[in-house]
Structure 1
Amino acid sequence: PGVTIRLISEAGELIEGENEPGEIQVRGPAVFSEYWDKPDVTRESFVDGWFRTGDMAVLEDGYYRIMGRLSVDIIKSGGYKLSALEIEATLLTHPAIRECAVVALPDDTWGEVVAVAIVSRDGEDIELPALKEWATERMSAYKIPKSLLLLKDLPRNAMGKVTKRAVQDLFE
């Protein structure tokens, strides 16, 4: 109770309508006020008393839908802000995909493009043209992966969470 939430655009403006993505910012008595002994981090993390969460969301039908972390889950391609988590959720409905990680790769034309690392079910071979054809019926063209990497396992940290930066490095 007492916690207020708002969405702020990339330009730093308050988003008042629905269906426009922005960074989640929160404030209230339950929100911490500073990082212990880290004044520089505290200054970067708060704007006029609002805590910048680093999460991107959109307001839909009065509810916030989290799109992912600004640092690794948002892909900026051709003027669009794409949610890697949303693309992953769609790709995971493919019968040959056991798990996947969607990341951004730099691109001279689009800024960034979608790339996916896939662990297939039972070692099935998945090729990019076939995946693109399958994805065409399920997502917008600008969300379809431009690069594909088949792996036995996705790189994970000590907590078992997929490390997106390590996935990006595998494409280099």
Structure 2
Amino acid sequence: MTQKPPTGSPGAAATNPAGGGGFTPPADCVAAYGFDPRKTWPFMIMLLVLSIIGVARVALYGFGESWLPTLVLLAFPIVALIMVGQELRMRGPIIIISRSGLLDRRHGPDTVPWDQIAEAEIKKRPFLRGIRIKLTNGERYDLELMLLRAEPMPIMQAIRDHAEAATAHMDPESSRRWW
């Protein structure tokens, strides 16, 4: 019996892609992070319950009494359910950290090269957690981590290490700070 490294760890990227199969990470992959079912299913169930409450409210009182509760309990959860469902259909890792750059498959197939990253910061808001990356051309690139099997600090450290190494034209392991 072979023991696989835990999903989302740096060594697990090529042998055990996070989030299932269907997408193979690049050969120079350092870490890969996919959806966490322990986070996604409760979120989807919550949206479904809100939608059911909204349908029940419309069935009991109709649209005529007030449109705001109907909008909040029916329209918003259904739209969010569709949006999250589309993301969950993606197979394999969602965020891929490789030697050539950073890839968030939700933003498209293009990898952001490390030398294009000017700065990165952790964004924590209620019910939303992620990393905002500012590119050298002024664009912003947001990594939403709420439903992923990932924590902001390890990803942030990898981004900083690789971006520093790219600007210094060094290997990220040799440029690692020990403070």
- TM-score, shorter chain, exceeding 0.5: no
Higher strand share: 1
Higher helix share: 2
Higher relative contact order (CA 8 A, sep 6+): 2
Select the structure of larger CA radius of gyration.
Answer: 2
| TM-score, normalisation: structure 2 | 0.28
